[in-house]
Amino acid sequence: MFERFDLAKKTDDKVFQKDIEPMQKQLGILQRDLRDKKIPVIIVVEGWNASGITMVMNELIQFLDPRGFSLHSIGSPSDAERTRPLLWRFWEKIPAKGRIALFARSWYSRSLAEIISGIEWKRGVRHSLSQINQFERQLADDGTIIIKFFLHISKEEQKKRLDEREQNPLTSWMITKGDWDFHNQYDSYLPVIEDYIEGTDRPYAPWMIIEATDRNYTILKAFSAVIKTLEKNLAASDKNALEKNGNSDITRPKKVDVKRKSFPAVALTRPEYEQNLIMYQQQVREIQYRLYKRKIPLIIVYEGWDAAGKGGNIMRLVRHMNPRGYDVIPISRPNDAENEYHYLWRFVRQFPGGGQITIFDRSWYGRVLVERIEGFCSETEWKRAYNEINEMEETYVEDGGGLIKFWLEIDKNEQIRRFRQREKDPLKQWKITDEDWRNHEKWNLYDEAVDEMLARTNTPVAPWTVVESGNKWYARLKTLQTVISYGEQFL
């Protein structure tokens, strides 16, 4: 692939100066348009060591308003990042609407470096490419413009530049070692990098290869590509907005029907409940300890009807757990700041590190439940979410995480009974709101949405467990038993 590019291309200083000045001004204008239209942009600059990544970044940002962009220089992962999937650290860095995120190296270099160094060797290149394509497609579907450059120089040019750096005390520090030691592995890295570029060159996130031997040519080509891409997307933004709100022709995952029951076949008595509760809680604590020792992260998702008992269930689950080893994340409607990002952003950044447990009291499934019913997102967005959620969960599990999903089921009459009980109980009145009653009036709409949610997101790697919650004692024991059984597979 790289043999097609002419590395001898050059631009003289006079042409460079004449062409670059209007581009510099236009870039600032486009940044303001992006801000006004609330379009996020990601610019990735990859390339060989000493190919000019820092130079290109420095030229681009000189003419951007610093209040509207973030520059991320990606190095080796921190201890916290090492305990999480590769793309977790980049979900944290995606831009809000109207902002630009520039990556001096990115998920590409990190994936390649971590495969070569052995961190990700079990999963390999194809696994990484699949995850990267999903990540970029989800961002692009949500309106993010993705621009990707690879700065290409010859092996001889790289050696020349590195020798010059090494001899200069002011630049010798720039020669990196360890898992970034690409300059001593040019020939072996070349076919792998070609695989990465060819495997992730997609219409929603295409690659631009820049012949980077000549500084002037490199800068002009980078500016030109950024400006043309932004102008094209801005011109189409109004049309895309209409399609986003009106296009509902989205391919959704096939349904795998999930049966729901409100009450268990056999009622549970209080003595039976109390007899087993402490025993199960102690076993859960043991599971927690074993997961911690093996550095396995676990996510437990609680979804269910209002008043189905999620809070009481979670309280019994964590009663004997070590509080330093788990977090309970209550999820409500996204705030203004969270609405500026892809809807999965606020959840992925809460994912646990190795050996930790994160319990979500409601979750990303709000996109296909309350956001769908209440009109907080478009039809296209909630229909697209089934695939996005399945991909996110599959990626998390494939990267070694555990995932348990509970749906707490009660019927309509039982919900009314519990609502009225809460209204009468001074200790529980805070739990009932006007919104709960409004949601109850939309029971049939929610019931249909729940059926579709369960059917389209019940996957082999992340199946749903329906908990018959008409009997709270039974529901609490069932969730405890499920966590114990699930955790035992890792022991």
What percent of the chain clears pLDDT 90, i.e. is strictly above it? 75
Confidence of residue 245 (pLDDT cuts 50, 70, 90): very low
Element (H, E) at 2: none
Q: What is the pLDDT of residue 120?
A: 52
How many domains is the chain partitioned into structurally? 2
Q: For residue 60, is it within any domain? A: yes
Same domain, 240 and 327: no
Q: What is the CATH number of the domain that holds 167?
A: 3.40.50.300
Do 223 and 283 lie in one domain? The reply is no
Domain final residue, candidates 213, 246, 279? 246
For residue 447, is it within any domain?
Answer: yes
Q: What is the pTM of this model?
A: 0.91
Cβ count within 10 A of residue 31: 20
- For 487, the token pair is 């955790």
Helices 443-456, 434-441: axis angle to 10 degrees equals 80
Tell me whether residue 25 is in a domain.
Answer: yes
What is the average pLDDT value for the chain, to the nearest integer? 91
Exposed / middle / buried, residue 19 (Cβ in 10 Å: 0-12, 13-18, 19+): middle
What is the DSSP secondary-structure string of 175-204?
---GGG-GGG-HHHHHHHHHHHHHHT-BTT
SS3 321: coil
User: Are 479 and 434 in a shared domain?
Assistant: yes
- What is the tens place of the pLDDT at every residue in 101-119? 999 999 999 888 877 665 5
For residue 308, the 8-state DSSP code is S
Closest CA to 193 of 82, 117, 115, 102: 115
Same domain, 210 and 328: no
Q: What is the β-pairing status of strands 357-361 and 464-468?
A: unpaired
What does the pLDDT average to over 136-149?
Answer: 97
Mean pLDDT score, 63-73: 96
Do 136 and 74 belong to one domain? yes
What region, left, alpha or beta, does residue 121 occupy, with left being phi > 0 and alpha being psi -120 to 50 degrees?
alpha
Question: In this structure, what token pair is assigned to residue 73?
Answer: 């220089």
Is there a single domain that holds both residue 194 and residue 121?
Answer: yes
Whether residues 145 and 17 fall in one domain:
yes
In angstroms, the first-to-last Cα distance of the chain is 46
Q: Give the domain extent around 395.
A: 270-488
Does residue 296 share a domain with residue 380?
yes
Q: Based on C-alpha coordinates, what's the Rg of the chain?
A: 26
Q: Model confidence at 246, in pLDDT bands (50, 70, 90)?
A: very low
Q: Does the pLDDT of residue 198 top 90, yes or no?
A: yes
Residues 195 and 280 both lie in one domain: no
**What does the pLDDT read at residue 171?**
59
* Distance separating alpha carbons of residues 87 and 138, to the nearest angstrom: 13
Give the count of beta carbons closer than 10 Å to the beta carbon of residue 276: 16
Q: Would you say residue 258 lies in a domain? A: no
- As a whole number of angstroms, the distance between CA 409 and CA 444 comes to 14
